[in-house]
Structure 1
Amino acid sequence: MQSPRIGQHGYAASKKVLPVKLTQLKRKLNHIGRDNTMSQVRTILTEGDPRLRAASQPVEEITSDVAMVISELHATLADFKARNGFGRAIAAPQIGEPLRLVAVQLGGRPFTLINPVIIWRSEATHLVWDDCISVPGHIANVRRHTSISLSYQNESGKTCHWNHLSASLAELIQHEVDHLDGLLMVDRIEHPEDLQPIARHAELIAPQRSEQRIKLEHIASASSRINPAFLASPQYRSPTLDTAIGAAMTLKVETLNPLRNFKGRGADHFVSHHIQQDKPAPLVCASAGNWGLALAHACKQHGLPLSVFVAENANPLKIAGIRALGAEVMFAGEDFDQAKQAAAHFAKQHGGLFVEDGRQAEITEGAGTIAVEMLAHGDTFDTLLVPLGNGALINGVGRWFKASSPATQVIGICPQGADATWQSWKRGTLVINDQVDTMADGVAVRAPIIEALEDMRDLVDDIWLVDEASIEKGMRLGLEHLGLLLEPAGALGLAAAYARRDQWPQDAHIATILTGANPSPTLTASLLAAFAAN
Structure 2
Amino acid sequence: MLSFDDVFVARDRIEGTVRQTPLERSNTFSQRTGADVRLKLELFQRTGAFKLRGATNRIKTLSESERESGVVTASAGNHAQGVALAASRADVDSTIVMPEHAPISKVDATEGYGGTVVLHGQDYNEAQRRAHAIEREEDRIYLHAFDDPAVMAGQGTIGLEIMDDCPEVDTVIVPIGGGGLIAGIATAIKGLDPDVRVVGVQASGAASAAKSFENNEIVELDTVDTIADGIATRRIGEKPFEVIRERVDSVVTVSDAEIAMAISLLVERSKIVVEGAGATALAAVLAGAVEYDTDETIVSLLSGGNIDPNVLTTVLMRGLVQSGRYVKLKTVLKDRPGALMDLTRIIADNRANVYGIQHDRTARDIGMGSAEVVLDLETRGPDHVDQLIDSLEENGYPIEMLV
Q: 1:501 to 1:304 in 2, by over 3 A?
A: closer
User: Could you tell me whether the CA contact under 8 Å between 1:219 and 1:369 is conserved in 2?
Assistant: yes
Structural mapping, 1:120-269, within 5 Å = 213-228=1-16, 230-269=18-57
- 1:345 paired to 2:138: no
Offset at 1:418?
A: 0.3
Q: Deviations over 1:182-228 (max 9, x none)?
A: xxxxxxxxxxxxxxxxxxxxxxxxxxxxxxx2132231132222153
Over the aligned positions, Cα root-mean-square deviation in angstroms equals 1.9
The one-letter amino acid paired with 2:250 is D
Structural mapping, 1:491-510, within 5 Å = 491-500=279-288, 503-510=291-298
Offset at 1:420?
A: 1.4
The one-letter amino acid paired with 1:260 is G
**Alignment correspondent of 2:91:** 303
Structural mapping, 1:472-511, within 5 Å = 472-500=260-288, 503-511=291-299
- 1:315 paired to 2:84: no
SS of the residue corresponding to residue 457 of structure 1 reads helix
Offset at 1:299?
A: 0.5
How far, CA to CA, are the matches of 2:158 and 2:289 in structure 1? 25
**Alignment correspondent of 1:379:** 167
Q: 1:398 aligns with which of 186, 189, 205?
A: 186
SS of the residue corresponding to residue 248 of structure 2 reads coil
Offset at 1:379?
A: 1.7
- 1:520 paired to 2:297: no
| Structure 2: 5+ residue stretches without partners | 326-377, 381-403
The one-letter amino acid paired with 1:374 is I
How far, CA to CA, are the matches of 1:417 and 1:325 in structure 2? 31
How far, CA to CA, are the matches of 1:278 and 1:357 in structure 2? 18
Q: 1:324 aligns with which of 108, 112, 121?
A: 112
The one-letter amino acid paired with 2:32 is A
**Alignment correspondent of 1:426:** 214
Q: 1:502 to 1:443 in 2, by over 3 A?
A: closer
- 1:443 paired to 2:213: no
Greater shift in the superposed pair: 318-327 or 286-295: 318-327
How far, CA to CA, are the matches of 1:454 and 1:439 in structure 2? 27
How far, CA to CA, are the matches of 2:291 and 2:75 in structure 1? 35
The one-letter amino acid paired with 1:513 is L
Greater share of helix: 2
Offset at 1:230?
A: 2.6
SS of the residue corresponding to residue 97 of structure 2 reads strand
Offset at 1:245?
A: 2.5
Offset at 1:240?
A: 1.4
**Alignment correspondent of 2:150:** 362
Offset at 1:280?
A: 4.5
User: Could you tell me whether the CA contact under 8 Å between 1:254 and 1:262 is conserved in 2?
Assistant: yes
Structural mapping, 1:285-296, within 5 Å = 285-296=73-84
How far, CA to CA, are the matches of 2:77 and 2:209 in structure 1? 20
| Structure 1: 5+ residue stretches without partners | 1-212
Q: 1:502 to 1:460 in 2, by over 3 A?
A: closer
The one-letter amino acid paired with 2:171 is T
Offset at 1:304?
A: 0.9
How far, CA to CA, are the matches of 1:525 and 1:361 in structure 2? 37
Q: Deviations over 1:344-388 (max 9, x none)?
A: 122122211211122111111111111111112462222111000
Tell me which of the two structures has the higher relative contact order, counting C-alpha pairs closer than 8 angstroms and 6 or more residues apart. 2
Offset at 1:491?
A: 0.5
User: Could you tell me whether the CA contact under 8 Å between 1:246 and 1:502 is conserved in 2?
Assistant: no
Offset at 1:421?
A: 1.8
How far, CA to CA, are the matches of 1:428 and 1:277 in structure 2? 39
SS of the residue corresponding to residue 205 of structure 2 reads helix
How far, CA to CA, are the matches of 2:98 and 2:177 in structure 1? 16
**Alignment correspondent of 1:110:** none
User: Could you tell me whether the CA contact under 8 Å between 1:241 and 1:477 is conserved in 2?
Assistant: no
**Alignment correspondent of 1:462:** 250
User: Could you tell me whether the CA contact under 8 Å between 2:254 and 2:289 is conserved in 1?
Assistant: no
- TM-score, with length taken from structure 1: 0.58
Structural mapping, 1:8-23, within 5 Å = none
The one-letter amino acid paired with 1:459 is R
SS of the residue corresponding to residue 178 of structure 2 reads coil
Q: 1:497 to 1:480 in 2, by over 3 A?
A: same
Aligned length: 322
Offset at 1:279?
A: 5.5
Q: What is the aligned-residue identity percentage? A: 28
The one-letter amino acid paired with 2:54 is G
User: Could you tell me whether the CA contact under 8 Å between 1:422 and 1:463 is conserved in 2?
Assistant: yes
How far, CA to CA, are the matches of 2:66 and 2:285 in structure 1? 47
SS of the residue corresponding to residue 225 of structure 2 reads coil
SS of the residue corresponding to residue 252 of structure 1 reads strand
Q: 1:339 to 1:278 in 2, by over 3 A?
A: closer
Q: Deviations over 1:16-65 (max 9, x none)?
A: xxxxxxxxxxxxxxxxxxxxxxxxxxxxxxxxxxxxxxxxxxxxxxxxxx
Offset at 1:229?
A: 5.4
SS of the residue corresponding to residue 307 of structure 1 reads strand
How far, CA to CA, are the matches of 2:12 and 2:50 in structure 1? 16
The one-letter amino acid paired with 2:223 is Q
Q: Deviations over 1:248-291 (max 9, x none)?
A: 11111111133111111111111111155576531111101000
Q: Deviations over 1:164-191 (max 9, x none)?
A: xxxxxxxxxxxxxxxxxxxxxxxxxxxx
